Structures are given as structure tokens and as C-alpha cells.
Amino acid sequence: MKRKEPRPYVNPYVGGALLGVVLFLSFYITGNGLGASGAIAHVQAAILDLFAPGHVDRVATFAEMAGGTRNALDSPGVFMLLGTFLGGMISGIANRRFRPETRKGPGISTGTRWALALAGGAIMGYGARIARGCTSGQALSGGAVLSVGSFAFMFAVFAGGYALAWFVRRLWN
Amino acid sequence: MAPFHLETIAGTIGYDLIFLLIGMGFGAVLELSGFGDSRKLAAQFYLREMTVLKVMFTAIVVACVLVFLSSALGLLDFGRLWVNPTYLAPGIVGGLVMGVGFILGGFCPGTSLVAASTLKLDGIFFVLGVFAGVFLFGETVDAYQPFYHSTAMGRFTIPEWLGLPYGVVVLMLVLMALAMFWAAGVSEAFFGARKSWQEIRATPWKKGHLAGAGALVLLAGVTAAIGQPTLADRWGWIAADGQQQIALREIYVEPVEVVDLKKDLTLRVDVLDLRREEDFNRFHLAGARRVTREELRDPAFVKTLLAAGDNTIVFLASNGEEEATAAWKDLKAQGVVNLYVLAGGINGWLDLYPPPACIATRAAGDPSGDTMQWRFSAAVGDRIPSAHPDRATRDPLPACALEARREEAVHGAAGHDEETAPRTFVRKVRLQRKVVAKGGCG
């Protein structure tokens, strides 16, 4: 049986407006913006707590989330993270985009792409913790409520990306 | 008044469920916009396809306009929203690092999650990488804690920085975003579709774009025209509760309780003295700070009160209670918690902990009204025991008082009883934790 083609993505301005409404509702109902990296840190601390609880208690960053009897997963952000995953999956299934595949530039192998994704993810995760938030939690949420630091952060992300883009153009073109 | 105190309304499960639903909306919209595709995200950095910029900035301005419009209309209390605190240097360094990770890995943490949820293998690898990065951060941040906490500016918004009204900044942001969208369109046509400049210039405006832009400008203009709520508006929101607290005297704390709290080393007791400088110089409580009503309306000053730890209790003091109660309303309207008024004011305090007779005497004046009822012969500030009854070792009495006491002893007057103050009182202070939830990130 022939697979149906994925449906096209929505217009970016429509998608952006919808995202803006979700972000506004988040602020309106909970007083908080959206986010992902903080909750990932919580999940990471919870996993580490399973294997090395003593170590978690000794490292301040982890102890703050999962030290002693603290349950790192007991944080609303973790539920938002789970929701983000589910929401993405539902939309992916509904739009026929739920299928195993690797998206990459034409010039590199799948293995290279995976390795770079892993490395990029590690750098991103590390940077997100230095900046106290990721693109969603800092740039998007902080930007909407006009935080000075969030705008500075946003420009730094774009600056870092554009500065390196030319050197790694073979990865994507 | 939004945002709602969800945990009390919906319970823990309902609270988590709401976050789950918001997350689902977030994930679905990211997926719908194509953020599950790393190529689409990376294309941003080669100026061929500006989807990231368009989606992100549309979301920011739409949310921004809605937040500040509902704030202007009195539907939402902006003071209670989580605004990412500014740590300028770590924010910029972290941002640069993330930019590098973005172009190498092709995602940011939120979008990689959506990619992984639709079985994009590169997304799954990226998520694993993020876990590793987050772990490494926890292990290494201790090496540069001072930097990580440097350039902290707290809750600091662009309108505060520029000294402009919120509505005006919202309007400026909308106009800036529209200019960027126009530039993005040109960039896509030029670098993506390889059109010539003449072709790009000849392309007519799309009606949908014009309508959307018009709506945003209009709403931002309305936000700027209405303006953000004034202090009086803010007091209006909570006036019913506040007036009741005043009527029931819940906010008035007896001097004995204040002294008792000052002895508690786990608490920080701040006394803000609202009296005129002359009165303050004549006598004030040890550690008191003189403030004016104007200062209490200055956002920068209020910010220091809002940023104080959960164990801080702020007392407002005037000669009587009138002025301090008015100040209480001002600060309460601005969201300051653990805020109380000194019952009976400084007059009442001195009645309970009287100064030496040679320094001051109680005037038989009109007891009502917010004026000093004690006549001081010298400006002693906080250098007499009345200013710090909480201290174990007290300042020596002023020379004139020692003289008086010696004469008393010589003439066989009744011995002084230092502990005359009644020690029974109704405790009023209930420490309240600040209802500022932590942001989802960081």
C-alpha cells in the first residue's frame, strides 16, 4: 500500500499566531510562560537519582531538584514537557508526519547527522542551563513579557548561529 | 483576576493537568509550524527560509499584545506573571553557546522533543544530547558559580530600562517585528527563490498579511492608549479584601509582637518610617529606614521589597496609624506581601517603651491625627533604650537620665521596674510565601 504524503505545514504567521495564543493562555491561566529545558533538567536529575542518589545529594544543582526525598518529577514543568511530547505526536499522526526518518542536509550521511544531533543537543542543553532557559523558556516566554535578559539572550542565539553557519554550510546545503 | 491561584482552585492533579494541556497545545503548534524538521530550522541561518523568525516573533508579539492588553483592561495582573530574571552575562554566553548547538544539531530543546515525538531519529539523538548537556552542566557549574550568578538584575523589563510606558514599548515591538517580517520576505525571495530585486519590489502585498499587521498595530495602539493600571486601579482590584483587613485590624501589629519578631534571628524585620525627617531624627526605632510616600510608588524601590526573601516582614510606621495605613494600601496594591502597620504608631510605641523623662514627655495634645505626641528635648534618634527594647544589652542611658536615676537612688525613691510592658498580645503576623511560581525553563 502506498503511503500517503504528509500534509503541508501551516503558514508560519498562522503557526506563530497560534503559538502566541498558547503562550498567552499559559501566562493568563498559570502566570508562567512555556518551557522545555528546565523540565528536561528535572527528568535528568530524576534519572540520575535512581542510579546515584548519593551523588545527587552532593551536587548542588541536582540536589536542588532531586536531593534527599525530593521527587524531581514533581514539577508542573515536567507535565508541560509530557504535554509537549504528546501534542507533537498527535499533530504528527494527524498530519501523516509520524514516521521514523532522519532529516538532514543532502551532503552528509545519516550517521554524521545523528552524531551532530547528539553533539548539538549536548551543547544546546549545556548552554540552555547557563542561560537559565531555552529558546522557548527564555526567548519566547521572556520576550513576550519584555524581559531585557530574554531579548539579549535571543540576539545571542541568533548571533552564535549565524556566526558559525557559514563554516558548517556543508551540513545543511 | 488572572493569573489564577491554580493550586487552590484545581488541586494538585488539576494543576498538573492544566500544564499538560498547555504543553499539548505548545507541542502541537510547534509540530504544525514545521519545527519538527531540522532542515527547516537550520535554513533560518542561511536566509533561505525564515520560518523560525516568523513563527517566533509572531508568537512573541501576539502573546505580548494580548498580555499587556488584558493587563490594561484590568483582566490580568502583570505583577504576578513570571518574568525571566535578567542575568545579562550568563544569558548572552549561554545564548551564544546555544546558537552553536542550534546550527550543529538543528534543533532547540523544545523543538527536538516534538521531532522525537514524531519519530524523527535526529530529534531523538538531539534529545539524548540535551540530557547529556544538562547533566554536564550540573557537574561543572560549580567551577564558575560567580559567573553564573553575575550581572543579576532581577525582574527587569524593557519599558523599565527605557523609561517608557509598557503600551508604547509594545507598539514599538510590533512595528519592529513587522519590519523584520518584511525583511524576512525579501530575504526568502532573494536567497531562497533567487528572485531579482525588481521582481521582489513588484510583488504585491498579501491581503492576509496586511490584515494581520493592521490588527496587531491596532491592538497595540489600544494598549498604549489605555495605559497600564495605575496604583489606584490596582488598589481597586483588592480594595474589598484590603478594607476588610483594615477594619478587622488584621494588619495592625502590637509593638510587643514587633519586638518579639525582632528577636527571632531567622526573620528579617524591616521598619519603614513614614514620618517627617524632624520626627525621625528626634526618635526612631533601631534599624528603621525613613521613606516617603513618593518612594513607595517608585517601581525601583518597590522592586527591592518584592525581591526580599520569604522571611522578611515589613512594618510601616507613622506617628499614629493613618499615614502608615495609606502607605500599606500603596504597597499592598503593588503586590508586597508580609506587610503590616505598627499598631498605635510611634506614639503608641513610646507609650509602651517610654523614653527617659528628661529626654521626652508625653504632650497632652489631640490624640487623634498623625502627629508626634511626645515632645523631645533632644534629637536622640535610636540612641535611647526605647528604640531597641529587643536588645539584651542596651545602650547606656543618656547622662541626664543617669543623673535623674542617681538622685532617685539617693532620695530613696521606688526602684525602677524595667519590665513593665504587658507581655500578652494577639499574634497578627502570618508569614506568607510569595506566589511567584518558577518559570518552566532554567
Before B3, cis peptide (omega within 30)?
Answer: yes
Which pLDDT score, from 0 to 100, does residue B33 have?
92
Chain B residues in contact with A24 by the CB 8 A cut-off are 62-63, 66-67
Distance from CA of B42 to the nearest CA of A (A): 7
Nearest to B58 among A17, A32, A158 (CB): A17
Distance from CA of B49 to the nearest CA of A (A): 10
Q: Average pLDDT of B131-144?
A: 93
Give Cα A32 distance to the centre of its chain. Answer: 16
Residue of A nearest to B192 (CA): A173
Residue A76: pLDDT band with limits 50, 70, 90:
confident
Question: Is pLDDT of B371 > 70?
Answer: yes
| CA–CA–CA angle A98, A102, A104 (5° rounding) | 130
Question: Is pLDDT of B156 > 80?
Answer: yes
Nearest to A97 among B36, B64, B126 (CB): B36
The answer to whether residue B36 neighbours chain A at the CB level (below 8 Å) is: yes
ipTM, two decimals, is 0.95
Residue B395: pLDDT band with limits 50, 70, 90:
low
Q: Average pLDDT of B103-120?
A: 92
Record: contact B91-A164, CB cut-off 8 A? no
Q: Average pLDDT of B88-97?
A: 95
- Please answer whether residues A77 and B110 qualify as being in contact, where contact means their C-beta atoms are separated by less than 8 angstroms: no
Interface subset of B 292-311, CB within 8 angstroms of A = none
The answer to whether residue B347 neighbours chain A at the CB level (below 8 Å) is: no
Which pLDDT score, from 0 to 100, does residue B129 have?
95
Residue B318, amino acid: S
Least confident of B91-95, B187-191, B433-437: B433-437
Record: contact A38-B441, CB cut-off 8 A? yes
Residue with the three cell numbers 563554516: A167
Record: contact A89-B118, CB cut-off 8 A? yes
Which pLDDT score, from 0 to 100, does residue B425 have?
75
Nearest to A121 among B28, B83, B125 (CB): B125
Q: Average pLDDT of B237-260?
A: 91
Chain A residues in contact with B104 by the CB 8 A cut-off are 116, 119-120, 123, 164, 168, 171
The answer to whether residue B134 neighbours chain A at the CB level (below 8 Å) is: yes
Record: contact B86-A148, CB cut-off 8 A? yes
Which pLDDT score, from 0 to 100, does residue A105 have?
85
Q: Average pLDDT of B4-30?
A: 86
Rounded Cα–Cα distance for residues A9 and A63 (Å) = 42
Question: Is pLDDT of B207 > 80?
Answer: yes
Q: Average pLDDT of A141-161?
A: 94
Record: contact A160-B100, CB cut-off 8 A? yes
Residue with the three cell numbers 543532502: A106
When scoring B1, B5, B16, B22 by the number of chain A Cβ atoms within 10 A, the one with the most, hence best to mutate, is: B22
The answer to whether residue B6 neighbours chain A at the CB level (below 8 Å) is: yes
Which pLDDT score, from 0 to 100, does residue B329 have?
93
Q: Average pLDDT of A99-127?
A: 91
Q: Can you tell me whether residue A75 is helix, strand or coil?
A: coil
Record: contact A118-B129, CB cut-off 8 A? yes
Question: Is pLDDT of A86 > 90?
Answer: yes
Residue B114: pLDDT band with limits 50, 70, 90:
very high
Which pLDDT score, from 0 to 100, does residue B166 have?
94
Which pLDDT score, from 0 to 100, does residue B119 have?
92
Q: Average pLDDT of B14-30?
A: 92
Nearest to A83 among B27, B85, B437 (CB): B27
Record: contact B46-A173, CB cut-off 8 A? yes
Question: Is pLDDT of B423 > 80?
Answer: no
Rounded Cα–Cα distance for residues A84 and A26 (Å) = 13
Compute φ and ψ for B396, nearest 5 degrees.
-60, 150
Compute φ and ψ for B86, nearest 5 degrees.
-90, 120
Q: Average pLDDT of B200-222?
A: 89
The answer to whether residue A57 neighbours chain B at the CB level (below 8 Å) is: no
Record: contact A20-B118, CB cut-off 8 A? no
Cβ neighbours of B140 (radius 10 Å): 13
Question: Is pLDDT of B368 > 90?
Answer: no
Rounded Cα–Cα distance for residues B288 and B286 (Å) = 6
Least confident of A78-87, B132-141, B314-323, B422-431: B422-431
Which pLDDT score, from 0 to 100, does residue B190 have?
86
Which pLDDT score, from 0 to 100, does residue B442 have?
36
A2-13 tens-digit pLDDT: 567 888 899 999
Record: contact B84-A97, CB cut-off 8 A? no
Residue B421: pLDDT band with limits 50, 70, 90:
low
User: Higher model confidence: residue B5 or residue B240?
Assistant: B240
The answer to whether residue A39 neighbours chain B at the CB level (below 8 Å) is: yes
Residue by residue, DSSP assigns B156-190 as -BHHHHHT--HHHHHHHHHHHHHHHHHHHHHHIII
Record: contact B25-A150, CB cut-off 8 A? no
The answer to whether residue B181 neighbours chain A at the CB level (below 8 Å) is: yes
Least confident of A17-26, A63-72, B270-279, B283-292: A63-72
Which pLDDT score, from 0 to 100, does residue A1 have?
46
The answer to whether residue A52 neighbours chain B at the CB level (below 8 Å) is: no
Question: Is pLDDT of A135 > 80?
Answer: yes
Residue with the three cell numbers 536615676: B405
Question: Is pLDDT of B441 > 50?
Answer: no
Record: contact A27-B76, CB cut-off 8 A? yes
User: Higher model confidence: residue B254 or residue B309?
Assistant: B254
Interface subset of A 136-165, CB within 8 angstroms of B = 136-165
Record: contact B56-A153, CB cut-off 8 A? no
Query: Each residue of A49-61: b (16+ CB within 10 Å) or e?
Result: beeeeeebeebeb
Record: contact B129-A114, CB cut-off 8 A? no
pTM: 0.85
Q: Average pLDDT of B268-280?
A: 93
Interface subset of A 75-134, CB within 8 angstroms of B = 76-77, 79-93, 95, 97-105, 110, 113-134
Nearest to B442 among A37, A59, A115 (CB): A37
Residue B15: pLDDT band with limits 50, 70, 90:
confident
